[in-house]
Chains A and B, each alone.
Chain A
Amino acid sequence: MLPISTTRRDLLAAGTAFGAAALTVGAPAIIRPAQAQGLAPTDSMRGGANNYRPGAPIVQRIGNGGFWMSGTVRRAGDGAPLPGIRIQIWAHTTEGYETDARSHGATLTDPNGAFRLEMPQIIPAFGQAHGHLAYDDTAFKTVFLRPVMRSSQDKSLKADFVLQPA
């Protein structure tokens, strides 16, 4: 007989014990930094950077408006609102494709870290009614978002950023 049991049940038991140990001992080490930082940074979404045109001008309104893109920008960790942050916005709208320069614009967050930009109505393109937003400046890490509208009839869309220092 080998000193180490090799039945399936024992292997399962040993595996479970190891997993439990890893969870109880190992997990806090992984979780701790995130808890210490509090608010986790927003990850870029898949396809978020598609048809991005860097350096969209800050505008009062994209095109003729009629649709509102809004959201907030906060700092990772303490969640402090970030004023004066440039958010770039683009979408396939009633006035142009995502690839068209006129579909792109940018706005700055207010003292409460909120932004709001009027733009033409977003319409379904490539099978989904969605918008694109980017934070792409030097102070924080770049984030690209691609929120999807619940209904293509919606007149507004929200997306929030939590940024971490670059």
Chain B
Amino acid sequence: MAWMRAALIWAVVAGTIAVSLGVAAMSPLLAWRGPVYVVAGFAGVSALALVLLQPLLVAGLLPGLSIPRGRRVHRWVGAALVTAIIIHVAGLWLTSPPDVVDALLFDSPTPFSAWGVVAMWAAFAAALLAALRRPLRIRPRLWRLGHTVLVVLVVLGGVVHALLIDGTMGSASKLVLCALVVAATAVALFNLRAWMALTRRKPQDRRP
């Protein structure tokens, strides 16, 4: 039965990502977009898909990928996520500069822009914290708390950003992908006892 469970998990994850990208690729809106805008849109959809993989990888929820191996992949997927976000924003900037400037300055008329910008900065900060963790010898407690808070912002901001947009993604596949992202993040945070960094006291703080 274990192989069936493994196959099911992989099928749901891979299927959701493939269907989301496939439906977006069939969007009628693509007919009225130039290559740069099309790439920018797909970079956004890909970023959301990569956000789904991250908690699954780090918590060892993908069958066949143990936690140590999953964490190595997690770092590469994190780098890919940062790249996808940069391509997304750069492509939109080339397509309509004033709209992106408004969004980055939190002065956009569209409510979803601010959520996306918050998610973007949180993702950059989470990646930067990961990159600096060893060179700066960041304390485990600070590292864990920081990375957790930042990725929760990435998930929350990214999901709301995606849901509010009228774009190339299909509404049903988008809803399923967003629900999976939230569920995977919640399960990973629970499995990894992410709140321990908040509640556990240092040994010297404990009463005798």
Contacts and interface: CB of A to CB of B under 8 A. Distances in A.
Given A50-B96, A50-B98, A50-B99, A126 B34 contact: no
A68 interface: no
Main secondary structure on chain A at its contact with chain B?
loop
Interface string A83-101: 0000000001110011100
Given A97-B96, A127-B165, A47 B32 contact: no
Interface string A128-144: 11000000000000000
B205 interface: no
A112 interface: no
A123 B102 CA distance: 20
A64 interface: no
Interface stretch (B103-111, B122-130, B172-180): B103-111
A20 interface: no
A152 interface: yes
B112 A127 contact: yes
Given A94-B32, A125-B96, A152-B166, A45 B112 contact: no
Interface string A115-131: 00000000111111100
A126 B29 contact: no
B99 A126 contact: yes
Contact of A124 (B29, B31, B98, B109): B29
A146 interface: yes
Interface string B77-115: 000000000000000100110110010000111101100
Interface residues on A, range: 20 to 34
A51 interface: yes
B95 A97 contact: yes
Given A127-B166, A129-B166, A45 B109 contact: yes
Main secondary structure on chain B at its contact with chain A?
helix
B164 interface: yes
B91 to A, nearest CB: 12
Contacts of A51: 96, 98-99
Interface string B21-33: 0000000010110
A50 B102 contact: yes
Contacts of B108: 46-47
A10 B121 CA distance: 46
B166 A128 contact: yes
Contact of B167 (A45, A46, A124): A124
Given A45-B109, A129-B166, A123 B99 contact: no
Contacts of B99: 47, 50-51, 126
Nearest to A92: B32
A126 B96 contact: yes
B96 A98 contact: yes
B109 A146 contact: yes
Q: Enumerate the 8 nearest inter-chain pairs by beta-carbon distance, A residue then B residue, closest first.
A: A127-B165, A50-B98, A46-B109, A47-B109, A124-B166, A126-B99, A94-B32, A128-B110
29 contacts: A46-B102, A46-B107, A46-B109, A47-B98, A47-B99, A47-B102, A47-B107, A47-B109, A49-B98, A50-B98, A50-B102, A51-B96, A51-B98, A51-B99, A94-B32, A97-B95, A97-B96, A99-B95, A123-B32, A124-B167, A126-B92, A126-B96, A126-B99, A127-B110, A127-B112, A127-B113, A127-B164, A127-B165, A128-B166
Interface of A: 45-51, 92-94, 97-99, 123-129, 146, 152
